[in-house]
Amino acid sequence: MGRVVIGTNLALVFFALLAGFAGKLATGKVPFVPAAILVAGALPGAQLGSALSNCTRPAWLRFQAAIVVVLAALRIGADAIK
């Protein structure tokens, strides 16, 4: 299985990013300065994460990805209840 979890996680993040950006762009609410700061931090962060993933066992990466997905689902569920 190797590093499949990394590619899957990146794909999920990419589609969530597109949906969020399209919604904000359609309503004219894109905060360009914070977005630029986020991108400036994400680029080196992605490189660091990629390097660290090569030193980490795949089972541990899958476990961490599962925690992120569960936390996101709980947050979405909590927001839906409000």
* pLDDT band (50, 70, 90) for residue 2: low
How far apart are the C-alpha atoms of 32 and 19, rounded to whole Å? 17
Pair of tokens at residue 59: 């089972």
Measured from the Cβ of residue 49, the count of other Cβ atoms closer than 10 Å reads 14
pTM over 0.85: no
Could you give the number of structural domains in the chain?
1
| Cβ-based neighbours of 3, under 8 Å, separated by 6 or more | 53, 58, 61
* Residue span of the structural domain in which 75 resides: 4-81
What pLDDT was estimated at residue 50? 83
Q: What are 43-77's pLDDT values in tens digits?
A: 999 899 888 888 888 889 889 889 999 999 999 99
Could you tell me the two tokens for 54? 């090569």
pLDDT digits (tens, 9 = 90+) for 14-29: 899 899 889 989 998 9
Q: Confirm if 53 and 6 have CB atoms less than 8 A apart.
A: yes
